[in-house]
Structure 1
Amino acid sequence: MGGVQSLRTDLIVVGAGIAGMSAALHASGRRVVMLTKAAFGAGGASPLAQGGVAVALGPMDSPEIHMADTGAAGAGLCHEEVVRVITNEGPARIAELVEWGALFDRRPSGIFQLGREGAHSMDRVAHAMGDATGAELVRTLASAIMRSSRVEILEHHMVVDLLFEWGRVVGVVAITREGRPLVVTAAEVILATGGVGQIFAHTTNPVEATGDGLALAAGVGARSAGLEFVQFHPTALVGPDLPMALLTEALRGEGAVLVDDRGERFMPAEHVLAELAPRDIVARAIAVRRRLGRKVLLDATGLGSLESRFPTVVELCARQGLDPSQDLLPVSPAAHYHMGGVVTDLEGRTSVPGLRACGEVAFTGMHGANRLASNSLLEALVVGARCGEDLAHESHQTPVAVNDGHKHSNFPLADSPWIDDGGNTTVADELRWIMEAGAGVERTQGSLKVAREQLHDLRRRVVPQPGELAHMMRVANLILKAAETRTESRGAHFRADVPWSSRCWLQDLVFEGDLLIPPHVVQPAAAVG
């Protein structure tokens, strides 16, 4: 590989969000190279997270109650032991963040000011700076990273390949914005690349969320699961912004309501929890009305001044000439979070030696068929830390020397792997609309079949080089396969042609690489709720 720059380190972290930074910080004694597609601390979904961290800190709350709420939202597919561990370890991770300088919102007495969001039975969502929790956690973790001499940060580097030799992952191939290749080898690679929202036309996810980690893992035969479960956030602000601006669920927790363009409130007739029903139920109720030509609006005018409690929402609305304290806000569901991902244990280990994953890219079984609001940051903090701590306690391994003839899925070519640099924007948009129409809030066998055929035609017409478009195509194909296979409705996966759940589908659909393991050989999930 003459002319290609190379580095060796102990640990590679791909992604610089809350999960990746948590892993790097807890991998004490390990030299870490962290690669991020964006500027450090600025890219990915973590800085955009408005809602908060769900954690049992209230006097009437407990990890057991939190666990029960998680299981109820997850529609029978949450993995019991995973939920137990994560809900129990949450308070300690919050305490650690406070020690590192995180400024959570507190009441005058000094106790945490906890909010309530959809499908929670208790006030348990800890916020920072009102609706800027993600940004505050990123600031805290990034400051700790910058104080560490162990972590080298490589900004604007996209990983386009995993190096695979002698049955294990031994490093990565990355490309800079300028097109320069870099090979980094290490004893372990952690994928912390976030979600897949950019494969849909309507999404709250940032431009970096192109399914990179899931596609890279599939390329080396790693197991993945839960891919059919894509959560659509009910209340994205309708307007010109792409990605769409999110109107946090905490607004509904404070009392904001959903009305149609006749001013009629409709959620009390849909679910006993009304606007605080699980996200899949609220999203479908909105989608049905929009499909019938009605507008849906979020009415927060009864909440008074929002500048101190929801400064991010106020700013996002102001960009579109709206004042949430006076105006009704037009909303629509948008792809927001992927419950599926690379199968891992609680320490981030995947089915492939040398490869780990944490955060949204991973499938621990925590979220089941539908994520409980604000459980994502909790999982990222807990599993990220456990992953790093486990690696810190392992005996140090020497990075494998990579030979010129090493096995990998593809070696990058000359063109840019970024969609916006490579002239592939039109093709990416075509893919997004295929997925939006075929595998959106509601799916049918017919819509999924059409989407599969259209994607097959697109992949035949366009053979992308390694990078974002190739990752998006691979992940879209996996999601469509899973959604076609699960012939029931459960959680975020709603099949309008089979709008009921079946006990025989109380199991995870698992892929090995790009191949679906026949469902009858998959062990049923240990269900909660």
Structure 2
Amino acid sequence: MKKADVIIIGSGIAALQMAHHINSNKNVMILTKSNIKDSNSSLAQGGIAASVGKNDHFYYHSKDTMDAGRYHNNEEVVFKITKEAPQLITDLRQKGFSFDEDRLGQMLLGMEGAHSRNRIVHSGGDATGKHVIDFLVDTLKNNISVIEDIFVYELIINEKQQCIGVKGKDSVGNIQYYFSDHTVIATGGCGYLYSLTSNSPNVTGDGIAMAYLAGAEITDIEFIQFHPTMLVKNGQICGLISEAVRGQGAILKTKNGKAIMDDIHPLKDLAPRHIVSQTIFEYLQNGEEIFLDITMIEHFAKKFPSITALCIQNNINLKAGMIPVVPGSHFLMGGVKVDMNCQTNITGLYAIGEVACTGLHGANRLASNSLLEGMYFGKRLAEHINLSTASNEDIQFPLKSKRPIFMPLSFPDKNELRRTMMEQVGIVRNREGLQWQKDWLEGFVQLEQDFGAFDNLSASEIQSTLECLTSLLITTAALERTESRGGHFRSDFPLENDDHWQNKQLIYQYGKGRFEEDEQTKVTSYARAVFS
């Protein structure tokens, strides 16, 4: 048994930013499923959005964020984050982090989809995420301990419904207990539940499933962003082609040279991601290949060294200037519902980063707002906990918390799960496909009322069960939202339905089944819980 003031599950930008801002007198443990630098944040080719340009203002940034999110965003959250974004960039620079600059020492500002101004700051061209993670890891303070190769699979909830720690399995399958006053889920999204994705294989929605089983509220889980341009070779995803490439002028074309976005949206190739992805998907369904024409970009290799290396590695002829692309699962807008201090509805339990639903992204994330969100809430939660004097009581064994636990009847083949999620709950959805997927997923699980029900399963079996649960939450929410908005597109309900769905959230809490308006906001609808 190990005890800390703060436990952080995950090691992306939100987790590391939080660790940097925690007071040095607090004992912090970072628990990560693999290596500390193995996260979606490290893979982020795009930069960080901030209104640092002379002709920019956080109002324009917030307006672009709201428009991309189809006004499903929490406006207060959007304003606070976009307003503080320039200061967050300044803070990083003052700590010694280097952003790309011109000859005069001014930060280079890139353009990406749905932005009205050049406001994307980068480091190392298309390696911003890697550079930021390397910097944060290399400058961690002595009060931070990192435990790698630990698969956290269950939140420990006491009889007072407080989160007092976590359970995990180490690399040889032994159960480890970690207790804390504050437990923070920072496990990332769920992109690897889909067969076509930009995400790390570690990003399978564990934190969402664990939080749900513990009684935390889950919301906006149906809103999945599909990035338009994944490098594809022989039907396999080889990596991501950053939106910054289109920001430099690249154009999506068919094999015959037709520019596919010309008549679709005023911003053409820089339209919001869901519009670009759906357009590419339609061409692919009709048997046409889509390419990213980069012939107009001068010094491509210098501007995009990581993408250049990726293409060379996969034998893509860059001299021809046509990179084959398909859309793939990229980012989850929803997740564990939190307030402005990242607190869930469970005392002692917090969520930050992609696993959390903060209200910033709405129905579709604006490009390069993800690293920004992690930086903002990582810092904010640290400041909140720094002021806290909370302390859990002495832990008594055996632990006797009784609550519902998902148990497997059998385990789906991982590739089959990913394939069916892409086909039935992917870029274009309909009632028939969603209902089929929901019925299929429900066939793998049952309920038990026993703390420790997962303990005798292998790590891979627990992983499979949690993947099933997160997939089921996504599928159920997508089935119940009978409209199209942002990353959620229903071919049987192809339009936004503002009369019924504007600013309304589907919120799932294990074991509770209610459908009512939130008394404070008057805009939140509670859907029936899965397996209520």
Fold-level match, TM-score > 0.5?
yes
Aligned to 1:331: 325
Residue pairs, 1:144-223, within 5 angstroms: 144-145=139-140, 148-165=141-158, 166-223=160-217
When normalised by structure 2's length, the TM-score is: 0.91
Residue pairs, 1:330-369, within 5 angstroms: 330-369=324-363
Asked if residue 467 in structure 1 is aligned to residue 458 in structure 2, the reply is no
Which of 449-458 and 309-318 deviates more? 449-458
- Quick one: which amino acid aligns to residue 192 of structure 1? A
Asked if residue 96 in structure 1 is aligned to residue 91 in structure 2, the reply is yes
Which residue, out of 443, 457, 471, partners 2:443?
A: 457
Question: Could you tell me whether the CA contact under 8 Å between 1:202 and 1:244 is conserved in 2?
Answer: no
Describe the SS at the equivalent of 1:269: coil
Q: Which runs of 5+ in 1 are unaligned?
A: 1-5, 418-422
Which residue, out of 406, 413, 420, partners 1:434?
A: 420
- Quick one: which amino acid aligns to residue 377 of structure 1? L
Which of 157-166 and 276-285 deviates more? 157-166
When normalised by structure 1's length, the TM-score is: 0.92
Can you list the C-alpha shifts for 1:100-132, whole angstroms capped at 9, x where unaligned? 222110111111101010000000000000000
Aligned to 1:476: 471
Question: Could you tell me whether the CA contact under 8 Å between 1:218 and 1:513 is conserved in 2?
Answer: yes
- Quick one: which amino acid aligns to residue 136 of structure 1? H
- Quick one: which amino acid aligns to residue 292 of structure 1? N
Question: Could you tell me whether the CA contact under 8 Å between 2:166 and 2:178 is conserved in 1?
Answer: yes
Asked if residue 18 in structure 1 is aligned to residue 4 in structure 2, the reply is no
Superposition deviation, residue 267 in structure 1: 0.2
Aligned to 2:265: 271
Question: Could you tell me whether the CA contact under 8 Å between 2:213 and 2:404 is conserved in 1?
Answer: no
Asked if residue 35 in structure 1 is aligned to residue 21 in structure 2, the reply is no
Give, in whole Å, the separation in 1 of the partners of 2:506 and 2:406.
Answer: 31
Give, in whole Å, the separation in 2 of the partners of 1:131 and 1:516.
Answer: 45
Question: Could you tell me whether the CA contact under 8 Å between 1:350 and 1:357 is conserved in 2?
Answer: yes
Asked if residue 290 in structure 1 is aligned to residue 284 in structure 2, the reply is yes
Which residue, out of 491, 495, 498, partners 2:493?
A: 498
Superposition deviation, residue 409 in structure 1: 5.7
Superposition deviation, residue 519 in structure 1: 6.1
Can you list the C-alpha shifts for 1:445-475, whole angstroms capped at 9, x where unaligned? 1111111122123447xx9846321111111
Question: Could you tell me whether the CA contact under 8 Å between 1:170 and 1:400 is conserved in 2?
Answer: no
Which residue, out of 440, 447, 456, partners 2:433?
A: 447
Give, in whole Å, the separation in 2 of the partners of 1:524 and 1:73.
Answer: 23
Superposition deviation, residue 283 in structure 1: 0.0
Describe the SS at the equivalent of 1:13: strand
Give, in whole Å, the separation in 1 of the partners of 2:234 and 2:278.
Answer: 22
Describe the SS at the equivalent of 1:232: strand
Flag the 1:262–1:512 CA change in 2: closer, same or farther, 3 A: same
Question: Could you tell me whether the CA contact under 8 Å between 1:226 and 1:508 is conserved in 2?
Answer: yes
Aligned to 1:508: 505
Question: Could you tell me whether the CA contact under 8 Å between 2:101 and 2:107 is conserved in 1?
Answer: yes
Residue pairs, 1:33-432, within 5 angstroms: 33-41=29-37, 43-145=38-140, 148-165=141-158, 166-239=160-233, 244-398=238-392, 400-407=394-401, 427-432=413-418
- Quick one: which amino acid aligns to residue 149 of structure 1? N
Question: Could you tell me whether the CA contact under 8 Å between 2:406 and 2:445 is conserved in 1?
Answer: no
Which of 276-285 and 434-443 deviates more? 434-443
Flag the 1:225–1:244 CA change in 2: closer, same or farther, 3 A: farther
Can you list the C-alpha shifts for 1:184-233, whole angstroms capped at 9, x where unaligned? 00001000000101111111110110101111100111011110000000
Describe the SS at the equivalent of 2:163: strand
Flag the 1:230–1:210 CA change in 2: closer, same or farther, 3 A: same
Superposition deviation, residue 243 in structure 1: 5.8
Which of 496-505 and 398-407 deviates more? 398-407
Flag the 1:411–1:77 CA change in 2: closer, same or farther, 3 A: closer
CA RMSD, Structure 1 to Structure 2 (Å)? 2.2
Can you list the C-alpha shifts for 1:468-514, whole angstroms capped at 9, x where unaligned? 21111111111111101110011110000111111110111111136
Percent sequence identity over aligned pairs: 34
Question: Could you tell me whether the CA contact under 8 Å between 1:161 and 1:411 is conserved in 2?
Answer: no
Flag the 1:65–1:412 CA change in 2: closer, same or farther, 3 A: closer
Describe the SS at the equivalent of 2:422: helix
Question: Could you tell me whether the CA contact under 8 Å between 1:119 and 1:276 is conserved in 2?
Answer: yes
Superposition deviation, residue 410 in structure 1: 8.5
Flag the 1:325–1:86 CA change in 2: closer, same or farther, 3 A: farther
Question: Could you tell me whether the CA contact under 8 Å between 1:162 and 1:220 is conserved in 2?
Answer: yes
Give, in whole Å, the separation in 2 of the partners of 1:323 and 1:63.
Answer: 40
Question: Could you tell me whether the CA contact under 8 Å between 1:50 and 1:133 is conserved in 2?
Answer: yes
Q: Which runs of 5+ in 2 are unaligned?
A: 447-452, 525-532
- Quick one: which amino acid aligns to residue 77 of structure 1? H
Superposition deviation, residue 39 in structure 1: 1.2
Aligned to 1:420: none
Q: Number of aligned residue pairs: give it.
A: 507
Flag the 1:227–1:412 CA change in 2: closer, same or farther, 3 A: closer
Can you list the C-alpha shifts for 1:351-402, whole angstroms capped at 9, x where unaligned? 1101000000000000000000000000000011100111011125246414
Question: Could you tell me whether the CA contact under 8 Å between 2:238 and 2:314 is conserved in 1?
Answer: no
Aligned to 1:3: none
Superposition deviation, residue 259 in structure 1: 0.4
Describe the SS at the equivalent of 1:453: helix
Superposition deviation, residue 437 in structure 1: 1.2
